[in-house]
Amino acid sequence: MCNFYASSAENSTLTDVEGNEYIDFAAGIAVLNTGHRHPRLVAAMEQQLKAFTHTAYQIVPYESYISLAEKINAAAPVEGELKTAFFSTGAEAVENAVKIARAYTGRPGIIAFGGGFHGRTYMTMALTGKVAPYKKGFGPFPGSVFHVPYPSELHNVTTADTLIAIERLFKADIDASQVAAIIFEPVQGEGGFNVAPPELIAAIRRLCDEHGIVMIADEVQSGFARTGKLFAMDHYQHQADLMTMAKSLAGGMPLSGVVGKAEIMDAPAPGGLGGTYAGNPMAVASAHAVLDIIKDEQLCQRADALGERLRVALRDCQEWCAELAEIRGLGSMIAAEFCDAQTGEPSAAAAQKIQQRALEQGLLLLTCGQYGNVIRFLYPLTIPDAQFDKALKIIASATKIQEA
């Protein structure tokens, strides 16, 4: 947690109560792809505020919810007739995706991935593949959840290793016919921005087709232009059956959703899904604005362009920062992993030192990764060029840790 209190924010700048300014490369943990308080988002919310702020959608529906669901149905990379349901948090979206998959298949089992993060509720903690700090001391967790390794080139885990683990699982722990869903992040968020190799997505699709399993892509962190496409799954040839979304969907308002094949989405009985605040009208109004901004300001293209500039700058840093072991990601979902220059072991200390040095120069960065040794760069895609250049200079200076 930062040692200052926020007072105001505009696009990619955060100001604290003492008037200090920070370039915000944390973006409220991947929520602000369209920046703080985009004028179109503020206008949309003001308009909604004057109309009504809450009715509870399942009691008194409103058209903006339906039209937003239609836009998501049209945009999601899943073929056939689709339906979308809205909730409030990312964890809630994941919980509901699991409920839908279980209702559809009538099966209990869920396969998830090591290093994956899906939230802080009990089911999503069970799905999360990192013990400390997310699960430590909170057990027992819901059962019938199984983890397999997620591929990582740097840590020598291949898609073949993942598939062997799933085959073993089917022999040792649960029959494939009892598995309701395989849930994965196309680009792992908290896990360190590991990008799923296309062969992993293809293999999950094949397994799901073979055994009647629902394929769930958790796009809570990777969605809404971050990777250079509206959804990270747009990068792949194979499609999921259900997708979860939240964070940048509503640019700072709590809104999440599940989109997927209508036949699967329709499985729960009426009243089985929902929530008092699910699809809140203020958040829905922001999400409409977010989708318009992404389209009109061509934020997918901008994510690619900014991501490329960042990659080039990080490669330069490798000249003086021997700890910078790998630069990876998709579009603007870019991370840098730090390892000890001598031993090659993950170095959380190097990542934290760089994060601290950047903060001292006015740049807010976030760490992530299984070992806490990865820095992720989550700037608003609307960041002005001059400010982005300034941030790159701070990153260059902050990575000179040997000279410090």
CB of 32 to ligand PLP, least distance (A): 14
Q: C-beta of 188: minimal distance to ligand PLP in Å?
A: 8
Under rule CB under 6 A, residue 182 binds ligand PLP: no
Q: Which is nearer to ligand PLP, 28 or 268 (CB)?
A: 28
Does residue number 130 form part of the binding site for ligand PLP (CB under 6 A)? no
CB 230 within 8 A of CB 302: no
Residue closer to ligand PLP by CB (options 223, 228) is 223
Q: How far is CA 72 from the centre of its chain?
A: 17
- Position of tokens 């259900």? 242
With vertex at residue 145, the alpha carbon angle to CA 144 and CA 147, rounded to the nearest 5 degrees, is 140
Selected from 22, 65, 87, 117, the binder of ligand PLP by CB under 6 A is 117
Positions in 245-264 near ligand PLP (CB under 6 A): 246
Total number of residues that touch ligand PLP (CB under 6 A):
15
Contacting residue, 41, 45, 78, 94, with ligand PLP by CB under 6 A = 94
Please return the burial class of 348, using the count of CB atoms within 10 Å of its CB with bins 0-12, 13-18 and 19+: middle
Binding mask 25-54 for ligand PLP (x = CB under 6 A): ----x-------------------------
CB of 60 to ligand PLP, least distance (A): 26
Only segment of 87-95, 150-158, 207-215, 340-348 that touches ligand PLP (CB under 6 A): 87-95
Residue 196 near residue 141, CB atoms below 8 Å? no
Whether 196 and 205 have beta carbons less than 8 Å apart is answered as no
Cα–Cα distance measured from residue 202 to residue 79, given in angstroms and rounded to the nearest whole number: 16
Q: Please give the Cα distance from 234 to 226 (Å, whole number).
A: 12
Omega prior to 140 cis, within 30 of 0:
yes
Residue type, 363: L
Q: How far apart are CA 131 and CA 224, in angstroms?
A: 28
Q: Where are the beta strands (DSSP E) in 42-166?
A: 82-87, 109-113, 145-148
If one asks whether residue 185 binds ligand PLP (CB under 6 A), the answer comes out as yes
HSE-up of residue 308 (Cα within 13 Å, Cβ side): 6
Task: Please select the residue that binds ligand PLP; options are 27, 35, 72, 90, rule is CB under 6 A.
Answer: 90
From the list 83-91, 132-140, 311-319, 369-377, the region that binds ligand PLP by CB under 6 A is 83-91
- Residue 155 CB contacts under 8 Å (≥ 6 apart), including other chains: none
C-beta of 237: minimal distance to ligand PLP in Å? 22
Residue from 95, 190, 323, 326 in contact with ligand PLP (CB under 6 A)? 190
Tokens describing residue 34: 């369209």
The 3-state DSSP class for residue 219 equals: coil
Residue 72: Cβ within 10 Å count: 24
Among 118, 229, 261, 376, binds ligand PLP (CB under 6 A): 118
Q: Which residues pair with 179 in a beta bridge?
A: 109
Provide the minimum distance between the beta carbon of 340 and ligand PLP in the complex, in angstroms, as a whole number.
27
Note whether 189 binds ligand PLP by CB under 6 A: yes
Q: In 222-278, which ranges are E strands?
A: 242-245, 256-261
Is residue 220 part of the contact set for ligand PLP (CB under 6 A)?
yes
Stretch that binds ligand PLP, among 18-26, 56-64, 182-190, 362-370 (CB under 6 A): 182-190
**Of residues 184 and 388, the one with the C-beta less far from ligand PLP:** 184
Q: Is 324 in the site for ligand PLP (CB under 6 A)?
A: no
Residues that bind ligand PLP (CB under 6 A): 29, 89-91, 94, 117-119, 185, 189-190, 218, 220-221, 246
